[in-house]
Amino acid sequence: MSALRRAFGLGATFAAALNGTMVMPLVVMALTRVGGVDEATATAIAAAELAGIAIYGLLLSGAARRARRRTAGLGLLALCGGELASHAFSGIAALSLARLLAGLGEGALFSLICANVAGEAQAERIWGQVNLVGGLVMGLLLYGLSQLPVGAGRGPIFLVLALMGVLVAPAALRLAPRVRTAAESVPVGLPSADKWLLWFIVTLAYGVQAGQWAVSGYLAEQSHLPVDRAGEYLALSSILGFAGAVAPSLARRASQRLGFVLLGFAVMAVSMLVFFNWLGDAPFFLGQVGVNVGFYMLTPFIVGLLTENDGDGSLVMRTLVIALFGSAFGTAVAGAVFTQAGPGTFSALCVGLIALCAVAAVRVMTRIQRRGAAARVDISSAGLIPSTGDHP
């Protein structure tokens, strides 16, 4: 039961830490209803939230291990305060500072998760569980907010996000840095070449997924889908897409990792081709679901490899910053590439980048697995563990 409580606590905190990025389109829409804020300005204001997460990840990622309760308390205050200020203020500078404050709070909450799972063997299982729980919460939140009628002003979105911070406070305050047993070794760190390859995969995978999401509205227009129906399809696909995290959450052996990662990339690639090359309700919805399923099938394995070699959570926090960079870059360039190249060429480009990720994954994960096997042979020959079995 303790493992189940831990998964739900981590998942709830994960949902609060990343809900702002999940509902970013709705945040931008709400900001455009403020007087004097057009869509371009609203997007820039919303980007301050991502900047807050990145700043925290780069400068304060170790605080969760040194001062857990203070990090949790200040993070929750920053998150809720930023959301409430986003609801109350109207000036561009004030709104930007409010989104920055909310981002700093989200970064603090994510650092609590990283410190809790740092150094855990077969970390993809816990990341899969976290994605399942947190993803379901975020997907339901996105769906619920997307169904609210458009009212006067910016609506209740920021109040709902602040309330969510309050609701997850008990779980976040209970999260503590992981304490290793005497039998567990402190991670020695990945070789630089492996770490950079994993970060390369993270950058491209998040960039492709974010870019595809960014141009989904264009596809909806070409498919002659009403705006409300397209929004409903995207919200539902977000909920269903987190089902891909079932694979890493149930993985039992380290030898399964590469197969699941390659399957995730394959599902993403095929879904991209369906999404961009067939018009209509079914290709739009099923293609988006497939992209999300493949993405959430493979990313816990990649992040899990980094987590296993993370002594205090700072490595995974830096990985989050890299993922945000990839997402921001993919979002920024996708519209221009799509409008100039067209859906067919855009999908071919996405599939090419996915294939490049798959090649990098084969290289780095085969190398890591080979080193792990050699280490088990050395330990086995010393009589410390049995010489048979499939260990992580």
1-178 shares its CATH topology with 185-384: yes
What the block records as the tokens of 272 is 């991209």
Q: How far apart are CA 360 and CA 193, in angstroms?
A: 11
Q: How far apart are CA 96 and CA 17, in angstroms?
A: 18
pLDDT grade, residue 370 (50/70/90)? confident
pLDDT score, position 390: 45
Q: Which long-range contacts (CB under 8 A, 24 or more apart) does 285-288 make?
A: 285/233, 285/236, 285/237, 288/216, 288/233, 288/234, 288/237, 288/241
Q: Other C-beta atoms within 10 Å of 13: how many?
A: 28
Asked if pLDDT for residue 378 goes beyond 60, the answer is no
Q: How far apart are CA 86 and CA 155, in angstroms?
A: 11
**Mean pLDDT score, 123-140:** 90
User: Where are the chain's structural domains?
Assistant: 1-178, 185-384
Q: How far apart are CA 295 and CA 280, in angstroms?
A: 23
Q: What pLDDT, in 10s, does the model give residues 56-112?
A: 999 998 888 888 899 999 999 999 999 999 999 999 999 999 999 999 999 999 999
Q: What is the mean pLDDT of the chain?
A: 87
Asked if pLDDT for residue 376 goes beyond 60, the answer is no
Q: How far apart are CA 193 and CA 189, in angstroms?
A: 11
Chain position carrying tokens 């090419």: 352
Q: How far apart are CA 315 and CA 106, in angstroms?
A: 17
How many residues are there in the chain? 392
Which residue, among 19, 69, 15, has the nearest Cα to 49 in the 3D structure? 19
pLDDT grade, residue 391 (50/70/90)? very low
Q: Other C-beta atoms within 10 Å of 51: how many?
A: 16
pLDDT score, position 307: 92
- What is the DSSP secondary structure assignment for residue 280, as one 8-state letter? S
Asked if pLDDT for residue 377 goes beyond 60, the answer is no
Q: Which fold has domain 1-178?
A: Growth Hormone; Chain: A; (1.20.1250)
Asked if pLDDT for residue 149 goes beyond 90, the answer is no
Options 1.20.1250.20, 3.40.50.2300, 3.40.50.300, 1.10.600.10; CATH for 185-384 is 1.20.1250.20
Q: How far apart are CA 129 and CA 309, in angstroms?
A: 19
Residue 61 near residue 318, CB atoms below 8 Å: yes
